Amino acid sequence: MRINIYHRHFNNKLMKRIFSLLFIFAAVALQAQTFRLEFKPVAGTEYPVNMEVIQDMTIKVPAMGDMTTHTEQKIGAVLTLVEEVEKGYLMETRLTRFTVNTSAQGQSQNFDSEGEDVVSQAIKTITEKPFRLVISRQGEVVEMMPLDTAFFTRADETLATQYAKRKRETTMTQLKALFSESTLKNVAQAGLTKFPDKDLKVPSVWTDDTPSDELGAIITTQYRVDNYADNKVTLMAKMVLMSNPNAKKPEGPQRMENIAGGGEATNIVDAVSGWVIETKGKQNVSGQLVIEQGGQSQSLDLTMVISTVITR
């Protein structure tokens, strides 16, 4: 009996050691496994991206206190491969949804491709127009093809059925700002991650610097490979925003200066195609909003809290 008990105790200890070694070896093998992330689209396959952004921007106005603007965006798009080019891949992009709702001081303004009013009908004519851009193999939108000269024509014609000239022109200015080339480029980039041109493994780290003229800042993002399994890669991203004195000043009477802040995000990427499966992130930003009018300028302190969810 003692022998049997001893053998049973010995076998249990042996099995625990074996399992422990298996886990250790599995962890070592996972860390040693190298892979390369690239954007690799396939002809005939659609690459969808759906982006939801919630932003609260608070501006300190002298003698009035804090004024907060709440904005919610829901934008969807589908990309398809046209052809492989020298810089990467020429992709055709079509918007599937475009909703922007803004509220402040008890007032709201809505732009919705799924609405029934005349502005929504005008937006639908814009979303029906495809546009093209070039995406590098490292997952960056490197070139935006010029928009068709008729990109906004049908929208203007739609508004003309119900709006007088002045109101139509004002609304078209708003729509052109909403559907700027920068915005369209950012929608496509939302489905991508900028990959390094090197082999990776768990826990590889790399850094990317992206200038933003809209924010007057440089966004430095550090990526870390957290997991790689079942053709999915989990990336942890930490972002730092710093003011860029060399940023190109945007057109118009308003601009942002002295921007600073940071944030974090978790990205899950399809290791086969390089397309984003899911991203969740949050950023906190502070700085000044500079308003120029009549030869005078005023700087107002602002803070922004931005939450982003991206799915396919």
- Looking up residue 203, the CATH number of its domain turns out to be 2.30.230
What residues contact residue 219 under an 8 Å CB cut-off, 6+ apart? 209, 210, 211, 212, 239, 240, 241
Please indicate, yes or no, whether residues 48 and 27 belong to a single structural domain of this protein. Answer: no
Same domain (yes/no): 120, 11: no
Q: Are residues 24 and 165 both part of a single domain?
A: no
For residues 151 and 244, membership in a common domain is answered with: yes
- pLDDT at residue number 26: 45
Q: Mark whether 19 and 126 lie in a shared domain.
A: no
Could you read off the pLDDT tens digit of each residue along the chain, which spans 312 residues? 444 544 444 455 555 554 454 544 444 444 457 889 999 999 999 999 999 999 999 999 888 889 999 999 999 999 999 999 999 999 999 999 999 999 998 899 999 999 999 999 999 999 999 999 999 999 999 999 999 888 999 999 999 999 999 999 999 999 999 999 989 999 999 999 999 999 999 999 999 998 888 888 899 999 999 999 999 999 999 999 999 888 887 777 888 889 999 999 999 999 999 999 999 999 999 999 998 887 888 899 999 999 999 998
Structure letter (DSSP) for residue 150: T
**Given this model, what pLDDT does residue 247 score?**
81
Give 215-227 as a DSSP string. TTEEEEEEEEEEE
pLDDT recorded at residue 20: 53
Q: Does 131 share its domain with 18?
A: no
Looking at the structure of the chain, the number of domains it has is 2
Which helix (H) or strand (E) segment holds residue 153: the answer is: helix 153-160
The confidence score (pLDDT) of residue 305 equals 94
- pLDDT at residue 90 in the model: 98
According to DSSP, the β-strands at 107-112 and 88-104 are antiparallel
Q: How far is CA 277 from the centre of its chain?
A: 12
Same domain assignment for residues 15 and 117: no
Residue 212: the pLDDT is 84
- Determine the structural domain holding residue 143 and report its residue range: 33-311
In a shared domain, residues 28 and 45: no
Count how many residues are written for the chain: 312
Give CA angle at 253 (141, 262), nearest 5°. 50
**Does 23 share its domain with 39?**
no
Residues 147 and 226 in one domain: yes
According to the model, what pLDDT value does residue 17 have? Answer: 52
Instruction: Kindly state whether residues 175 and 267 are assigned to the same domain.
Output: yes
* Co-location of 182 and 129 in the same domain: yes
What are residue 98's DSSP bridge partners?
75
